[in-house]
Amino acid sequence: MLIRRAPDITSSEITDEKLYLNRRSFLIGAAALALVPSEPVAAAPPAGQPLPAKRNPAFALEDPPTKLESVTTYNNFYEFGVNKEDPARLAHTLRPRPWTVEVGGHVARPKTYDIDELLRLFPLEERVYRLRCVEGWSMVIPWIGFPLAALIKRVEPTSQAKFVEFTTLLDPEQFPGQRKSLFNFSGLEWPYVEGLRLDEALHPLALLTVGLYGQVLPNQNGAPVRVVVPWKYGFKSAKSIVRIRFVSDRPRTAWEKAQPSEYGFYSNVNPAVDHPRWSQATERRIGEFRRRPTLPFNGYADQVAPLYTGMDLKKYY
């Protein structure tokens, strides 16, 4: 039998002693520090229902897209479990139809939309975006959706609306990861909540996403609708959204509540701000072995940096 030597352990993979002594933090950190494989850990699920959309050349990248097998089998979706393979393995439990999204709060035209009504109201387009995870891996994905700004303008936020809050479905029958137990504990408070400043949500890059790679969004990738904010770390992209609220006060987001010292509200990709337990200066694209420098704002600085003029991005991380 061939015995392989274990690879050198990097500093980002060593659990801090203080973290170990804190059971809750340790379990969160252990899940986040799972080793990153270069290939998918499971067979790709069958192709989904086709979802045609015209590619928008204004949102193209020279980087080749990540393999669909990796995008659909290597996921962070804690509602299904803390392991990367859990979403693909358990995704069959989610029922993406029928589905409604309640849009309300400080708006002149609140409404609960059926997901298929949203698809009829807003023309779909394909955009190729980078996705960068706080754990240090990244992907390039052709997403299908429509600008979040289009929905925002339709419901007409009032002057009291300063932030947009996104809430994921709460249903332990459909999301086994929401069933807390000793062996299934993410440390997150359900339902999952994320938020953006209103001007961030109105930015042309922010996308309400309903598909990828020419097909309907797979369950493990956030079906039937998620938000994609490409200049932020991946956990800012709320999945399986059932409610969008326009609020005056900054929402307390799921990861911010779980670990405020590690996951700030803004969560912009900033290679100059390290995670408390590892550097963010480099990343590894799934499917590659080499590490590459992390780009400020995930490579979208030209478009989004003006949103943060005058802000201390180390304080407001």
257 found inside a domain: yes
Q: Is residue 31 pLDDT above 90, yes or no?
A: no
Residue 211 lies inside a defined structural domain of this protein:
yes
Binning pLDDT at 50, 70 and 90, where does residue 290 land? very high
Q: What is the pLDDT of residues 99-129, one digit of tens each?
A: 999 999 999 999 999 999 999 999 999 999 9
- Spell 107-116 as b/e; 16+ CB within 10 A means b: beeeeebebe
- C-alpha span between 124 and 126 (Å, rounded): 7
Instruction: Tell me if 5 is assigned to some domain.
Output: no
Nearest to 230 by CA among 209, 207, 253, 251: 207
Q: pLDDT at position 13, please?
A: 40
- pLDDT-wise least confident of 27-36, 66-75, 82-91, 193-202: 27-36
How are beta strands 215-216 and 207-212 bridged, if at all?
antiparallel
Q: What is the pLDDT of residue 181?
A: 76
- Of the pLDDT bands very low, low, confident and very high (cuts 50, 70, 90), residue 208 is very high
Do 301 and 295 meet the contact criterion of CB atoms below 8 Å apart? yes
* 172 or 26, greater pLDDT: 172
66-87: pLDDT as tens digits = 999 999 999 999 999 999 999 9
Q: Would you say residue 34 has pLDDT above 70?
A: no
**1 domain residue, yes or no:** no
Q: What pLDDT was estimated at residue 78?
A: 96
pTM confidence score: 0.86
Name the residue range of residue 83's domain.
11-308
Q: Which two tokens stand for residue 96?
A: 């993406």
Q: Do the domain assignments include residue 314?
A: no
CATH number for position 119: 3.90.420.10
Question: Quick check: is 316 in a domain?
Answer: no
* 49 C-beta neighbours (distance < 10 Å), count: 8
pLDDT tier at 35 (50, 70, 90 boundaries)? Answer: very low
pLDDT at 149: 98
Confidence of residue 9 (pLDDT cuts 50, 70, 90): very low
Whether residue 235 contacts residue 267, with contact meaning beta carbons closer than 8 Å, is answered with yes
Q: What's the Cα-to-Cα distance from 112 to each of 159, 206, 224, 225, 243, rounded to whole Å?
A: 21, 21, 15, 14, 9
Cα dihedral 229/231/232/234 (nearest 10):
60
pLDDT of residue 45: 52
Q: How confident is the model at residue 194 (pLDDT cuts 50, 70, 90)?
A: very high
286, two tokens: 């799934």
Largest CA distance in the chain: 69
* Domain count of the fold of the chain: 1
Please check whether residue 4 lies inside any domain of the structure. Answer: no
Domain-located, residue 235: yes
Asked whether the predicted pLDDT for residue 26 surpasses 80, the reply is no
